[in-house]
Amino acid sequence: MKTKELLADSFRSLVLTMPFQKISIKMITDGAHVIRPTFYNYFQDKYEVIEFLFDQDIGSKVEVMIENDMEQEAIKLMFICFEKNKEYYHRLFETTGQNCFGEFFSHYCEQTFFRILSRHPMREMPCELITPQSLAHYNALLLIEILKLWLSSPKEVPAEKIFEAYQYIIRTPILDMIQYPEP
């Protein structure tokens, strides 16, 4: 295994056993059985390790699918990939502060949705405030909240089922979800 992957695997193992804030570079290098300066040959800090692992787990795969006009499949794949490392990503979402995973992932989702919207012609919107940027932001927020709810739930819901729920929510106006009493 390459040193970069050893460092990343060490980091992932540490995230699963202790709070993110307590993880030091020395702990990561000790787990990878390399000396501390070796870490800086591959990463600037532990936040860069998060980005590297995310790209390996999810980002690079999603990119290929989007480039091949498989946007819906790309989003479904995102759920499936999160499921494979559910506890790891759940713990990352719990981390707060500058450069936290939630901030990184929010930016990633907005960029990804904006790229999807930019690749295809848009229908006319009922208001000039509804732009590709605002739609990308809205969709990123919804995706993130559903993922966080799912990852933190003690219930075992398969990725395919949560993806179906996501699709239902994204495609159904909220007032159509309500059962009004019969008059």
Q: What is the mean pLDDT of each run of 10 residues along the chain (183 residues)?
A: 93 96 96 96 95 96 95 95 96 89 95 93 88 94 95 94 94 88 81
DSSP state of 22: G
Report d(CA 39, CA 160) in Å as an integer.
Answer: 37
Helices (H), 3-155: 3-15, 25-32, 36-39, 46-54, 60-67, 71-84, 86-94, 101-118, 132-152
- Residue 109, CA distances (Å) to 24, 26, 55, 65, 93 in order: 28, 31, 13, 15, 14
